[in-house]
Structure 1
Amino acid sequence: MTPGIGPIKFSAIIDAVTPQELLSYSERELTLAGFNPTQTQFLRSTQHPWLSKIDAWLDGSELRHCVARYHDLYPSQLLETSASPPVLFVEGALKWLTCPQVAIVGSRNASFDGKQIASQFSASLAQDGITTTSGLAIGIDGCAHQGALSRCSESASTVAVLGSGLQHIYPKRHSQLAARIKEQGALVSEFAPWVRPKAGHFPRRNRIISGLASAVLVVEAAHKSGSLITARCAAEQNRDVFVVPGAFHSPVSTGSNALINEGAELIQSYQQFIHRCRSALNIASNDLRGSISHPPSITSPSPQNEETRLNEGNDPDSGLPFPLLLANLGVEPTPVDILAQRTHIKVQELMTQLVELELAGHVASVAGGYIRIRGNAP
C-alpha cells in the first residue's frame, strides 16, 4: 500500500530486507535506504485506516482470504515469476490456487465456434482433473469458466483473476458467474477489495493468469488483444503457449494466428491439447482424474441451455434483435438447417428473422449458409 511501491520494486526490497525489519527502521534508516519523504512518512505512520477495511472485508465471509507471499498457500508457480503480487485477495477455496492449472483466454467478441471450443475444452480439462484459469471477461473467458463449472469436482474447478477489487465485479453482467465461481472455485485479485476497475489494471492481471497456470491456450485473439499480452507474459514466464487456429479472414483470429507464426503450438484436437498439458504440468496420464478417450466434438449447446443463458441476461447479444439466432452465428458459414437444430426455431420463422437481420446489416448470406458480420457486443 506504500505510495510508489509496485510489485517489481517490492520484490527488489524484500530481496534485501524482510517487511518486518523494514517497519522497524528509523526515519533516517528509511531515507538512507532510498525511500522518499512520502514513503518514509507512510511506513513510519501507525494510522492506516485501510487495514481495518481489509479486516472488515475478511470478517464478512469464511470464503475470503488475504494471502501474502510468505503464506504457505501462496502459489509457488506464481512466486517463481518476476513481479509476483505481494498479496492476493481471494474469495473461494484456497486449494484452487495451488492445483494443476491451464489458462484459456481469448477474444471478447468471440465467434460461436470459438465460444464452444473454450467451453468444451475447459469442461474436458475439469474431467481430466485440471483447473481452468481465465479473466472473467465476456466472450472466451466467460465460456471457459462456465465450461469448467459444468464439470467441476473435488479435483478441478476454475479460477478467475480480476482487474479490480473483489467488491467490484467487472463486467457486471458476469456477477452471477462470479458468484458461482466463488462457491465452486476461486476469485483472485492483487487489488484491495474496494479498488474499482481501471483500464491499466487488466494488462497487469494478465501476468497473474499466466503465472498461476503451467500453460496458456489462446482461442481467438484480435491483432490488438489482451490475450496477446497474456501469451507474451506466458512466454516470458517460460510457460507453454498453445493456439487454436482461426480463419485467415476473421478479425478475431489475426492475433492468435500471428502467435502461431511466432512459434506458439497449433492445437487441432483436445487429445493433442491434453497430451501437451500433461507434459507442461509434468503429470502422467494415470495421475489425473478420469482421462477421456476422445476429444470433444465442436457441437452447439442444447437450445434449452442457450435460451436460459439469454434469459439470465448474461449474453452480449441480448440488446440486439433475435439474440438467440445471432448467438449461433459466427464468421464461418452456417446452413439454415443447422441453425434450426441449434435454436429450435421453425425454419419459416428462422428465414424471416434472417432476412430482417440481413436487412439490418447484422448477417450476410454466403455460399454455405449465413455468417455474422457485425453487432458483436464491445
Structure 2
Amino acid sequence: MTKITEDDLIDWLRLLLTDGVGDITAQKLLSAFGLPHNVFKQSHTTLANITSDKVARSLLAPTDDAFAKQLEITQKWLETPENHVLTLDSPHYPQHLLSTADPPVMLYAKGRIELLNHHPALAIVGSRNATTGGLQNAEHFARELAADGLTVVSGLALGIDAAAHRGALSAHNPHATTIAVIGTGADIIYPARNRDLAHQIAAHGVIISEFPLGCKAIANNFPRRNRIISGLSHGVLIVEAALQSGSLITARQALDQNREVFAIPGSIHSPLTRGCHALIRQGAKLVESAADILEELHLPSVTHEPATQSTDPSSNSDGDAIDNATQTSILQHLGFDPCDLDTLAERSHLSIAELSAELMILELSGRVEKRDGNVYARLS
C-alpha cells in the first residue's frame, strides 16, 4: 500500500503547522492554488489576499526547529507498516468524510485503512458514565451491526464508546469491524485504561486522528473530533446521554451532515436517557434492535433479537428461567424502572432483611444493579 512521499509529507506538514493556518485557512489556500507545494510558490501579496499579512509572512518564513522535530517524529512513526498519513488528495482518504463541510485536511491512521472506504459505517456514542444496561445495549447493537457488515465508529472513550468497540470486535467479521476516532495524537492512547482495547482496534480495525503526533488530551479536541465520528458514518446511534453531553453534539453534527440519528429510549427517571428522549422528540428514530437501523438505512436486514431488556421478568440474560420464585416475584415488582429498597419491600411484601438477601443474589448473578441511594435497577 503506497505511503505518502517524503516531499509531500514535508509540504503538507509545513502548511498545517504554520502559525495561523487551521483547516479552514488551509482549505482556502488549497482551493486557490492546488497542492501545498504550489502554496509556497506564491508571493506575499497573493497569499495575503487569501489569508492575512501575518499568515502570509508565516507561510513564506523558513521552517524552524519545532517543525524539524515534528517532521522527524512523523517520519519515524510512518516506518511502522500499519501507520499512515492520509491527505485530502490521498486515494485512501475516507470519501464519505469528504462530503462534509469541514473535513480534516490530514488524517493520521493506524490499522486497516481499507475500512475507511469499503464498508458502510454507523457511529455508536453515549455517556462515559454509562449504566450496566447501557453498556450491554451498546455492545449488543455493535456486535449485531458489525456481524451484518457495518463498520462501527466511536471515540474510544470510557463507557458507551468502549463497549461499542468491544461489541464490534467480538463479531469477528474481517470485512467490517470498528474505527476509533481519537482526540489526541495517533501515537497517544487516551484514556490509558483503554490501552488493550486500542491495540485490538489497531490490529483488527483502524484508529484515526486529525491531531499532530504527540498532541495530548486537550478538552477542546474532543468535541471537534465528533464531526469526524458522524462524518464517517451513515448514521449515529445514541445509547445513553444526559441533556448536556458530547453525544448530543455528535447528534447535532450528524444532522448538519445529513446523517440519520437514532436513539435508544429508557427509563423516564434516569438522567442518562433524557438526552435520548430529547432527540426522539426532535425527530431522531427510536430503535429497539439492530434490525430497526438496517431497515431505516435501507441496508440488507436479518432477523435480530432486541438489545433492550427482556419483557419477561422471569428470564435472565441467558434466557434461562429463574428457579427461585421469590426472585422472580422481586423482578416482577421491580419492573424496568429503578426503584428504592423501601418501595420494593412494600410492593413485594417482603421484609427488608429478606429482600436485601435476595437482591444480593440477583446482583451477583447479573440480573439487577445496585445504584446510589439504595436504588436497584433491572439488567437485561
Fold conserved between structures, TM > 0.5: yes
Structure with the larger RCO, 1 or 2 (CA within 8 Å, 6+ apart): 1
Verify: 1:138 aligned to 2:148, yes or no.
no
- Structure 1 counterpart SS, 2:78: helix
d(CA) in 2 for partners of 1:38, 1:8: 13
| Alpha-carbon distance, 1:39 to partner | 4.8
Q: 1:269 to 1:297 in 2, by over 3 A?
A: closer
d(CA) in 2 for partners of 1:338, 1:91: 45
Partner of 1:206: 226
Asked which structure has the greater CA Rg, the reply is: 2
| Alpha-carbon distance, 1:114 to partner | 1.1
RMSD of aligned C-alpha atoms?
2.7
Which of the residues 63, 70, 73 maps onto 2:82?
63
- Structure 2 counterpart SS, 1:90: strand
Partner of 1:288: none
Bigger mean CA offset, 108-117 vs 187-196: 108-117
Verify: 1:72 aligned to 2:91, yes or no.
yes
The Cα offsets for residues 93-126 of structure 1, whole Å up to 9 and x where unpaired, read as 1111112100000111111111111100000011
Q: 1:331 to 1:226 in 2, by over 3 A?
A: farther
Residue type at the aligned position of 1:104? I
TM score, norm. by length of structure 1 = 0.77
The correspondence of residues 254-273 of structure 1 with structure 2, limited to 5 A, is 254-273=274-293
Which of the residues 70, 93, 103 maps onto 1:84?
103
Partner of 1:13: 29
d(CA) in 1 for partners of 2:49, 2:131: 56
Which of the residues 182, 187, 192 maps onto 2:207?
187
| Alpha-carbon distance, 1:266 to partner | 1.0
| Alpha-carbon distance, 1:338 to partner | 8.1
Verify: 1:364 aligned to 2:380, yes or no.
no
Verify: 1:45 aligned to 2:62, yes or no.
yes
Verify: 1:30 aligned to 2:50, yes or no.
no
Residue type at the aligned position of 2:177? S
The Cα offsets for residues 28-82 of structure 1, whole Å up to 9 and x where unpaired, read as 43234433335523444244312222111111x1110000010011111101101
> Aligned residues, how many?
319
The correspondence of residues 294-333 of structure 1 with structure 2, limited to 5 A, is 294-298=304-308, 332=338
Q: 1:42 to 1:9 in 2, by over 3 A?
A: closer
Residue type at the aligned position of 1:195? C
Residue type at the aligned position of 2:85? C
| Alpha-carbon distance, 1:191 to partner | 0.3
Q: 1:69, 1:86 within 8 Å by CA — same for their partners in 2? A: yes
Verify: 1:97 aligned to 2:93, yes or no.
no
d(CA) in 1 for partners of 2:26, 2:277: 36
Identity percentage over the alignment? Answer: 38
- Structure 2 counterpart SS, 1:187: strand
d(CA) in 2 for partners of 1:134, 1:195: 19
The Cα offsets for residues 233-276 of structure 1, whole Å up to 9 and x where unpaired, read as 00000000011112122111111211111111111222212212
d(CA) in 1 for partners of 2:29, 2:337: 50
d(CA) in 1 for partners of 2:59, 2:76: 22
d(CA) in 2 for partners of 1:228, 1:155: 29
Partner of 1:322: none
Q: 1:3, 1:39 within 8 Å by CA — same for their partners in 2? A: no
| Alpha-carbon distance, 1:150 to partner | 0.4
Which of the residues 330, 343, 348 maps onto 2:364?
343
Q: 1:260, 1:266 within 8 Å by CA — same for their partners in 2? A: yes
Unaligned runs of 5+ in 2: 1-16, 310-315, 319-335, 345-354
Bigger mean CA offset, 248-257 vs 6-15: 6-15
Which of the residues 252, 257, 260 maps onto 1:240?
260
TM score, norm. by length of structure 2 = 0.77
